[in-house]
Amino acid sequence: QLQLVESGGGLVQPGGSLRISCAASGFTLDGHAIGWFRQAPGKEREGISCIQGTAGRTYYSDSVKGRFTISGDSAKNTVTLQMSSLKPEDTGVYYCAVRTYRQCVLFSANEYDYWGQGTQVSVSS
């Protein structure tokens, strides 16, 4: 009964902020790498952030570094992505994904074994 559910997406103006979350059930996130990916229509899926366990090392792509922050909550078995200074090019469906192992592989979607359904983030005036 492994499941990942994203929440918190929506419409925001350029320069605004959103916080999206990934909730896991059926397993514990602490022993895994948890990544965030995004995909816009006609674009390739892009890895943007990863955390090792719920309190381990964090990684960011150049496109979001300095604007996004990833964090985990072990008690709630969740991982959150805080997004600030949002730009129109941040628009897309955001997915959380879990790797069997704890080491992050930020840009390799094929390394992740479990995926949520995604949540839409739209940045527009």
> What per-residue confidence (pLDDT) applies to 106?
83
> What per-residue confidence (pLDDT) applies to 92?
98
Segment 67-116, tens digit of pLDDT: 999 999 999 999 999 999 999 999 999 999 999 999 999 879 999 999 99
* Confidence tier at 1 by pLDDT (50, 70, 90): confident
* Confidence tier at 24 by pLDDT (50, 70, 90): very high
CA 80-115-102 angle, 5° bins: 70
Q: One-letter amino acid identity for 107?
A: F
Segment 32-43, tens digit of pLDDT: 999 999 999 899
